[in-house]
Amino acid sequence: MPLDLISGAVRGPISLGLIALLVSSLLLAMTSQSGHAQDPPACPDPDDSDTPITAQVGQQVVFALASNATTGYKWQLDDPGDTGVAQLVGSEYVPPDAQMPGAGGKECWTFQAIAEGATTLGLSYRRPFEPTSIPPVRTKQITITVSP
């Protein structure tokens, strides 16, 4: 006798152990990712150098830029470069460890290395609510070089 899906009643010789096994297998399949999701590397300290970032295809790279959210300024990605080489995964503001009013933190930017090559990103430090006719207070070029 079959399982009645509408009423939820079990009819026939299906044991509760088998149902528990099926449910746990389904939950395991739903929580595992076949896309090989990768945790990004830890966010480093802000680095103001112009040293290119290197990665291998499939890796994620993270860089940090000094930022202070209390001023209203934030980094914006104005030029994503060649998205066939590296693509933005995300960015987040990380407040400072010290709980001093007005203390600056950092913005951590994560990119996925897609294919061999090099690309240069263009970022600007500005207030997002101000018109674009107001120039940014800082700009930054970041080069990502991806090897096979």
- DSSP strand pairing (60-67 vs 74-79): unpaired
What whole-number percentage of the chain has pLDDT above 90?
60
| Structure tokens, 102 | 């007005």
Eight-state DSSP code of residue 107:
E
Residue ranges covered by each domain of the chain: 1-32, 53-147
Rg (CA), the chain: 24
Q: Whole-angstrom Cα distance, residue 29 to residue 26?
A: 5
Taking residues 89-93, report their average pLDDT: 96
Q: What is the DSSP string of 56-88?
A: ETT-EEEEEEEE-GGGT-EEEEEE---TTTEEE
- For residue 2, the model assigns a pLDDT of 54
Residue range 53-147 forms a domain whose CATH class is mainly beta
Cα separation, 92 vs 116, whole angstroms: 26
pTM of the predicted structure, to 2 decimals:
0.71
Band of the pLDDT at 100, cuts 50, 70, 90? confident
Question: Average pLDDT in the 21-26 region?
Answer: 37
